[in-house]
Structure 1
Amino acid sequence: MNVVLSERRPRQIRRALHGVLLLDKPLGLSSNDALQKAKWLLRAEKAGHTGTLDPLATGLLPLCFGAATKFSQVSLDADKAYTAVLKLGQTTSTADGEGDVLSTREVNVTREQVEAACAAFVGEIEQVPPMYSALKHEGRALYEYARQGIEIERPARQVLIHRIDILAWQHDRLEIAVVCSKGTYIRTLAEDIGERLGCGAHLSALRRTASGPLTIASAVTIEALTEMNETQREALLQPADSLLSDWPRISLDDAEAGRFLTGLRRRVAADDAPRVRVYGPQTHAFLGSAHITAGELIADRLLSPLEVQGLQHPESSL
């Protein structure tokens, strides 16, 4: 009997890689699948994303590698910007185009009514999270209950809508740009705007365009990343501190930087601040994040000496 042994793919050699990749996530791909694909292409040892983007959404997904993973929560907590397309006159079971149609109503609204409906949701509002969401109840995601036809009571949560701009409107198609706090469900916002207009609505398309100071303008697609060589991929990595680029900056001399990296509090001539990014003197080395209270610089998230070296001399990590 002849036995045919299948060829085994050679094991990929991973390396320490530090930085942030701005990925333009495609439609239909989960955030984790996008992360694993990019991690494999860059041969990175350690990687994580900064909060999930639904498979039906496209757009900015910041991916953190190495030292940058320590600051992924910053992007998760940051304000977000989206463009969204609403289908007016139709509600669905999932509040998006994937669900079953629940109701169909005539769309008979004016521009003034559309503007008023959008304006009504600017500011602090309460939202009831949708059943088709990844929020957990007794250890299971809400969407798992929803698929079984089980409705779980969800308490309303407060979110902040900074602005809603109308980009285009034509009868039953409304395109808006939204800037909002973390935890805002655009699907729920779409439903609520539809109810305000009296015709109902669901979300037919969603694209994230910004997360904190990071924008879609510098993002790369999976297809483009696949076509690049390794050097070109590495060149796309933003520095780890790009996640904190809108925070106040504190610079320390060599001695003070060394003490700060051990976790010691340092006296600084700066105003109190809830969050700052801290640098040492050697080519402005990024050291970590901190806050200032009563003139004391208190570390929050520190890089290790090896990580500081890896950020300053990437070739030493390869």
Structure 2
Amino acid sequence: MARKKKGRVVSGWVVIDKPAGITSTSVVNKVKWAFDAQKAGHAGTLDPAATGVLAVALGEATKTVPYITDALKCYRFMVRLGQSTTTDDAEGSVIAQSDLRPNDAQIEAALVAFRGDIQQVPPQFSAVKVEGERAYDLAREGEQMDLAARPLWVDSLVLIARPDADHVELEMVCGKGGYVRAIARDLGEALGCHGHVQWLRRTWSGPFDADQGLSLETLDAGAKTDALDAHLLPLELGLADLPELPATPEGAARLKNGNPGMVIASSAGYGDEAWASYRGRAIAVGVYKSGELHPSRVFNRD
């Protein structure tokens, strides 16, 4: 006989405004504990020093995590010009310095190369795996790695402010897998003056905005009480970028059992990934073919 999972059955999204100094994993564990949830996960890691939107999925919402991970995200960050560090942020030791300071026009010109489809080498201190080990573990041991460049879509990258000669505030909207620290590092190299991230904040991620974010203080204050459920956002928000296909009653019954079910077509074309709903609730995600949704994930919330 299967053992009953600990915790209550609860599904949905919780947006946390992550403070600096705590890991994303620690935040997820805290949310899971506070909601007494059986299962939790997050859509996109933030470095411990970074702040802002950390979207945490509970229960069946964890099945929608890949769609938020793939969504565009927005970052505000400050680049400290004139210094490069071991970690490409202010947490590391300074390893190179320059007295050169580019003007605003030179910075604007350099940003052009960082927009659109680019190739980006991850920082030495990153979660990238090298022969089964995390790069940051090897970096802590003093090993210098030749990490392969990875593709990144940068939707926009703009200069927001120039507080002084040493600092540049930027805003970037990008796809998944991007390292803001690598942008700061590579921008500094392109300008010939070195650079690293001084602070970083994720202002939105897919449909989730920092303005909705709970503080950890509010989370702790409402932990294990019904009051916290008022901050739970619908599972369906994780599917915002996919077409919704209302299911017929018969189709809904079949989909709930993992079988192809009849749906009412909307903007989805043959072979498109979409999600089926019944009475406004998500039933399944799958591929639309000839009037039916062929499910790949089924949501069990009854």
* TM-score for the superposition, normalised by structure 1: 0.87
Q: Does 2:203 match 1:205?
A: no
CA contact (8 A) 2:43 2:56 kept: yes
- Equivalent residue for 1:174, pick from 168, 175, 182: 168
What is the percent sequence identity of the aligned residues? 36
Distance 1:273 1:85 in 2: 43
Distance 2:62 2:293 in 1: 22
Aligned length: 292
Which stretch of the first structure deviates more once superposed, 51-60 or 258-267?
258-267
Gapped regions of structure 1 (runs ≥ 5) = 1-12, 310-318
Distance 1:102 1:117 in 2: 23
1:244 alignment partner in structure 2: 239
Instruction: State the one-letter code of the partner of 1:233.
Output: L
Distance 1:204 1:226 in 2: 29
Cα deviation code 1:268-301 (max 9, x no counterpart): 55323532121013xx222021222455422121
Cα deviation code 1:217-240 (max 9, x no counterpart): 211110122223622211100011
Distance 1:269 1:72 in 2: 25
Cα deviation code 1:102-157 (max 9, x no counterpart): 11111432211111111221011111111100111222110111111112221111
Q: Does 2:213 match 1:219?
A: yes
CA contact (8 A) 2:246 2:263 kept: no
2:145 alignment partner in structure 1: 152
Gapped regions of structure 2 (runs ≥ 5) = 1-5
- Give 3-state SS (helix, strand or coil) of 1:220's partner: coil
Distance 2:23 2:273 in 1: 31
Distance 1:86 1:51 in 2: 22
1:90-239 alignment runs, 5 A limit: 90-169=83-162, 170-228=164-222, 230-239=225-234
Instruction: State the one-letter code of the partner of 1:195.
Output: E
Distance 1:19 1:213 in 2: 13
Instruction: State the one-letter code of the partner of 2:299.
Output: L
Distance 1:123 1:280 in 2: 38
- Give 3-state SS (helix, strand or coil) of 1:194's partner: helix
Task: Specify whether residues 274 and 106 from structure 1 end up closer, same or farther in structure 2 by C-alpha distance, changes over 3 A only.
Answer: farther
Q: CA deviation at 1:209?
A: 1.4
Q: Does 2:63 match 1:70?
A: yes
Which stretch of the first structure deviates more once superposed, 184-193 or 257-266?
257-266
Q: CA deviation at 1:267?
A: 5.0
- Equivalent residue for 1:35, pick from 24, 28, 37: 28
Instruction: State the one-letter code of the partner of 2:74.
Output: A
2:3 alignment partner in structure 1: none
Distance 2:166 2:24 in 1: 30
2:297 alignment partner in structure 1: 301
Distance 1:183 1:225 in 2: 28
Runs of 4+ in 1 over 6 A off after TM superposition: none
Which stretch of the first structure deviates more once superposed, 32-41 or 292-301?
292-301
Q: CA deviation at 1:253?
A: 1.8
2:277 alignment partner in structure 1: 279
Task: Specify whether residues 269 and 244 from structure 1 end up closer, same or farther in structure 2 by C-alpha distance, changes over 3 A only.
Answer: closer
Which stretch of the first structure deviates more once superposed, 112-121 or 235-244?
112-121
CA contact (8 A) 2:275 2:285 kept: yes
Which of the pair has more CA radius of gyration? Answer: 1
Distance 1:176 1:273 in 2: 39
Instruction: State the one-letter code of the partner of 2:252.
Output: A
Distance 1:97 1:215 in 2: 25
* TM-score for the superposition, normalised by structure 2: 0.92
- Give 3-state SS (helix, strand or coil) of 1:246's partner: coil
CA contact (8 A) 2:286 2:294 kept: yes
Task: Specify whether residues 224 and 107 from structure 1 end up closer, same or farther in structure 2 by C-alpha distance, changes over 3 A only.
Answer: farther
- Equivalent residue for 2:286, pick from 286, 290, 303: 290
Aligned-CA RMSD value: 1.6
Instruction: State the one-letter code of the partner of 1:290.
Output: G
